[in-house]
Amino acid sequence: MRYLLKGSLTIAICLSLCCTSSKRSTFESPGRSSVTPEFKDNGKTIDSLKTIYGFESVEYENWEEDDKTDSSFTVCFINSKKLPQKDINETVNEFKAIASSIHRSVLYQDRYKSYYIIFVAREKRGLLLSTDSHTAGMDVSVREL
C-alpha cells in the first residue's frame, strides 16, 4: 500500500514536471534545444535501456545550465513499447534497477539525491501539438539503490 501511495504521488508530481516544464530539455527528441547530461559511458546505458524498453526518445528534466546542481535527476522515456511489470513488488524492483543503472552511468553522481524515472505516452495532435500521459513512474532515492 505504501508503494502504491508513493507511486501515485510520484506520478502526479512527475507528470507536472515532465509534461509542462518550460525548462525541459531532451537527448534524442528533435526540434527542441537541449543540454545533454554528462555520462561516464557516453550514453551507452541509455542506449541499452532504449533497446530493452523500446522507447522513441528520452527527455531529461532539470538540465538547463542553471539547474545542474538540482538534487533530483528526472528521466522520461517517451512512447516505450514495454512498461514495468504489473506486480507492485516487481515494478518497484524494476524502477530501482533502472535508477541504479542510470546512477552508475552519470558522471557527477554526488549531485543527485534521487532519480525520477517516468514512462510517458506522447500522442501527436496536429503539426505542433501533442498530448503527454503518464503510464508509469517512480522516484527512487539514492539510499534505496
Q: What is the pLDDT of residue 141?
A: 95
pTM: 0.70
Choice among 47-51, 91-95, 104-108, 130-134 with the minimum mean pLDDT: 130-134
Contact between 26 and 59 (Cβ < 8 Å): yes
44: pLDDT confidence band, cut at 50, 70 and 90? very high
Q: What is the mean pLDDT of residues 104-132?
A: 88
pLDDT given for residue 118 in this prediction: 95
**CA dist list (Å): 67 to 1, 61, 63, 119:** 33, 9, 6, 22
Highest mean pLDDT among 16-30, 50-64, 67-81: 50-64
* Residue 71 vs residues 35, 113, 124: alpha-carbon distances, Å: 17, 5, 32
Rounded percentage of the chain residues whose pLDDT exceeds 70? 69
| Mean pLDDT across the chain | 77
